[in-house]
A and B are shown apart, each in its own frame.
Chain A
Amino acid sequence: MSNPDDNDSRNTDNNVSDEHLPSEQGHGEVAPADDPFADPGLPPHEHRRQDIDERAAKRSERTVALLFTVSMLATIGFIASYVAIPIDKIVYIWPFGHISGLNFALGLTLGLALFCIGAGAVHWARTLMSDEEMVDERHPIQAAPEVKAQVLADFAAGTKESQFGRRKLVRTTLFGALALVPLSGVVLLRDLGPLPGDKLRHSKWKAGSLIINENTMQPLRPEDITVGSLTQAMPEGLDPHDHDFLVEIAKAAVMLVRLEPKDIKDPKSAEWGHEGILCFSKICTHIGCPATLYEQQTHHALCPCHQSTFDLADGARVLFGPAGHPLPQLRITVNDDGYLEALGDFEEPPGPSFWERG
């Protein structure tokens, strides 16, 4: 870059190089006076304080060095906190509350160490590194005409020598082979998993299944369930430690509510219950979240994911939201021992809707 000392009379009073002034770049002089789009070139370079005042530059140097030193100290602090602070130490720090002292110290020191490196680098680049403007002309993307002609000639020669255009049989069979090869990849997609079959239409419930309270793992009796209560339940024979528990509970989870029989609007739903006790699948028919936000006064059950709302007093009819079907109801009765039991599986597939559900 130019030295501020060898400027001529057009030098500006703040000692700026005029190498990049429009006149020096040869644009200003040759451009026609009436060309409104003439390239004005770069504005005159202005120096920073650090470029002209060595003491300011020294100060910047010390600031950058200080930031880097703080970063070093913070890293040492990080290691020291890791060693010194017990992992279960809880301290009160406003506004975070009662938090882990170790977490806070590690985060603070590591954050400070990284921030000071960044801040130091930015301050260095802004105040000490050269900020002279430079023009770097872009070279043309297009190849030279003779290179282009050579490549096209080579390609034509290659086509001719390979006899690709003359031997039509070779060409056609090659196209066929290339078109068929990807099919092997398509066939392999079958290995993504076994076909679902009718698994989505059946759950673990069958005639005679006792209804197990998920809180006590004991079978439920009608007198356990009072009006206004909500009970989470599952079929007997499901063990939370079983390998397939999650697969089965995803279809079989139910909730039991008890309504005053006069409040039940759907006679079929009332008949499928027992003295006002209704047992619904709790898996939302939209995408399968547990729709158990039960409002006992309105008898509405909401799904927390997309606010689908089901009226449990009216056969779990969809009142609102993206769910496409009512929650399937399980037919229940009381067995000879006084326990609630299922009269069979759900009549409709429980859980989220799927393509072939109908």
Chain B
Amino acid sequence: MSFVYALLCVEIIGVTSLLAVARCLKYKFSLSEFFSLAFFCGLAVVSIEFLISSLSGIKYNFAHVLILLLTASIFLVVFFVVPSRKSFSVDLSFEVGFKTLSLLEKIFILGIVFQVIWVVFLSLPMPVDAHDAVANYALKAKMFYFAGGIPHGFFNFSEDLVAHPDYPILLPAVMNWVYQFTGFEYIGINMIMPVIFTAFIILFYSLVFKIFSRTYALGASFLLATIPQVAAYAGIIHTDLVLAAFVSCAFLYFFLFLKNNDGDALLLSALFFGFSLWVKNEAVVFTAAFLAVCSSAILSRERPHAGSLRKILLPVLIVILIAMPWFIVKTKYGVVNSDLDVSKVSAVSILLNIKEIPAMLNLFQQEVFGPKKWNIFWVLFFAALIWKRKTLFKDENKYVSLFLGLSVVGYFIGYMAITGGNLYFYINTTISRFMIHFTGICAFWMVWLIWDKKFLFLDRDGVICAEKGGEGKDVYITRWEDFNFLPKVLEALAAANTAGYECVVISNQQCVGKGYISQPELDQITRKMEERIIKAGGRLAKVYYCPHLKSDGCVCHKPKIGLFEKAKRDLDIADFSRKYYYVGDAERDMEAGSKAGLKTILVLTGKTKRGDEKNWIYKPDYVAADLLEAVGIIMHSKL
């Protein structure tokens, strides 16, 4: 029971820490997401506090732990009493009815539960016993416990005394925390890993569920939980699974930012990448890749201005602040990795090792595709990449590709830098474990690539912006000053994005063909429109215009469906099959949408008055007062 209390206290500290952060956000947490995220926050906060208090000379014992808990409890009370400045929320609805689950969902849940129970069964009676687990983490935790903190001179201990004193201390610090409750023991401490594994799967599911349907999210979670290597490391005290948990969840928050333009998700992502630096040195590669890709994403989506620069700098600042205590310690004590002394890495040493690349690639493919028990996952993953190769560099996928590419390159450079004729040894002993670091991200991306995404197609004038009215040239919007968003449109687009819909505009703009506006000028109006939508929390995936005159006889001028066909090709949609909607304000929109194979919704914010559609040949499937109501219809309809 002491063990359970120890982890409950980690949860309390985590909840307190997360509430402190969440009060600055408007993010909406699900219940499972909040508590599983809080657990990981608790792990990180416990280890950061341990380092700081040890270096301050404060004795680390049970009294210390109690003071920390008391402080956390006081803050918890304060948080409930003092209202938050922003409106973050936790969705307390929690579906527990087993009857509402489909057979497939029940199978997935039972599979995950069985895997967790199986991992517990494997871990419960075992002492810490794998090589690195004993040499590195268990020995350090024992040192910390008996010394009442980090022993004097620890960071300069020789490798004969303890392996890799340069390693981040999250895992031994957490083990030491548990020992404060249980006393030092050889048996039972292994159980930390099944708990971390379970929290990982729950948080993974919670985040994936924000993107996919419940069935798909459960399927992805089942896939991840049952990868044999992942499950195996759920019973061994190694940091590889812990790093995978932090990096995967950090990346999923980053993906939520990419998809929904949710700035709060970006901050949570930065928080987690910062925490990951306390887990394992390899987190530096992932964090650097994240900061690079994040900056690239922000700059490519927004024109550089104060707001976008702030968006880039804030994650950098968060990562630096969280990592700072650890890096100060490493710098102060001159701690270097015995395998990889970065100061000795040079362009020359990397160039000399370039000849090792064929050998490395050969070893890599043996590890990934060789007849080992978990490689079926990597075979499926690479098969999915090949199947969906045309979409790998489109939309959010290009940032995922960039992130993974940079991370893999970082790992390879690391191997090249540390090999001195020992390439075979290092690859053999580490690559299998290191691939676990990528597993969560790759499991998610594989499912994302093969997932049939949801799209919402819509017209522009009369749906997003007000029709200008007037006659002749005055009918057309030729300047940004003439562009006025209709009421509740920004809210509607944000709601659609949050619900997982990619919004695509398909619109006739024959003002270009008539010479009233040039294509670059139209593009500028579009860019400003997109920036306003992004600011309001939404995003347009694609914008298609027909610039031709109706008399040109092109295939893209509505009610012809040329632009719809182009959208299908670009978005990798095999067939609309009336699975998607087109929202328009005129009969030609209904005709175009119907002919293209879409369901149609007529909004009354443009040319059409209620009742006009009754005389049309192509009647809409639904009529809505405005785009917001149309989005509501779509979200509540069953496909």
Is B a genuine binding partner of A?
no
A interface residues, Cβ below 8 angstroms from B: none
